[in-house]
Amino acid sequence: MTELPDRRLLLVHAHPDDESINNGATMARYAAEGARVTLVTCTLGERGEVIPAELRHLTGAALGEHRLRELTAAMRELGVEDFRLLGGAGRYGDSGMMGLPDNDDPHSFWQADVDEAAGLLTEVILEVRPQVLVAYDDNGGYGHPDHIQAHRVAMRAVELAADAGHRIAKVYWNRVPRPVAEAAFARLAADLPGLPFAKSAAVDDVPGVVDADRITTAVDGTAHTAAKAAAMRAHATQIEVSGPYFALSNELAQPILTTEYYELVNGEATGETDLFAGIGPAAGEAS
């Protein structure tokens, strides 16, 4: 068996760009420190709304192909070499926003059999043998069907991998503590007149905002601020970046957070500053 790095991190995301917004600084930090960082993206985001006018002709499969190129560029900025599409490119389609007819497309990720999709993710887990997995909460952070399904698939794959002999030592959900979000939006309000965005989003528009007591782990990625911003900028169809702020297709400004926050959901911890705290290279091996 090929020798694995001492630290191995797996992240599961719904669409290209989710990883850079949620975890870009974390991914860049651990990649720079020599950990194996593996990203699994569940769809190509073929139904995403395109921001630049010159790219709005891209729809469906053509948009998905373009977003894969954006993802490749973003991973280059973060220093992440191992990134994959769940089941291969095009296996699962973007489901669109909740409540739209797109949700009923049999090719959509929302309609996927959870055990089947989790089986594909389990294959990745058994190959890379991560000690740490990062996923969304059971609402997908903000209720998008692909994010909810990514949560279901990730958590089921954790169970299937354990049954097959690899126990993931720590599972985290993406979070943002409400006081941090409120302070960042206060800075944004002061800076908004100088930004290319007309309006600000609200704190509750940010996926995964919770009370501070839910946060177990804060990963300081400020040394990788430039890498995170560059990765987000690489997703040009979906994100417009201006300094420490960004906007999606709704044109509502949000802060870029470079300390990224997590909730440990399969153990007890508080005040962590490292996703790998308390585990060694042998963690996860079958006993």
| 137 marked ligand binding residue | no
CA atoms within 13 A on the CB side of 119: 5
Joined tokens for residue 266: 């399969």
CA 15/CA 68 separation, integer angstroms: 10
Joined tokens for residue 280: 């060694």
Pairing of strands 259-264, 209-210: unpaired
CA 189/CA 203 separation, integer angstroms: 12
| 274 marked ligand binding residue | no
Instruction: Determine contact, residues 126/3, Cβ cutoff 8 Å.
Output: no
Residue 127, classified by CB atoms within 10 Å of its CB into exposed (0-12), middle (13-18) or buried (19+), is: middle
- Name the DSSP letter for residue 270: -
Name the strands in the sheet holding 245-247, side by side, starting at the edge strand that comes first in the sequence.
Answer: 199-200, 252-255, 245-247, 240-242
Instruction: Determine contact, residues 12/153, Cβ cutoff 8 Å.
Output: yes
| 147 marked ligand binding residue | yes
Instruction: Give the annotated binding-site residues.
Output: 15, 18, 147
Instruction: Give the annotated binding-site residues for Zn(2+).
Output: 15, 18, 147
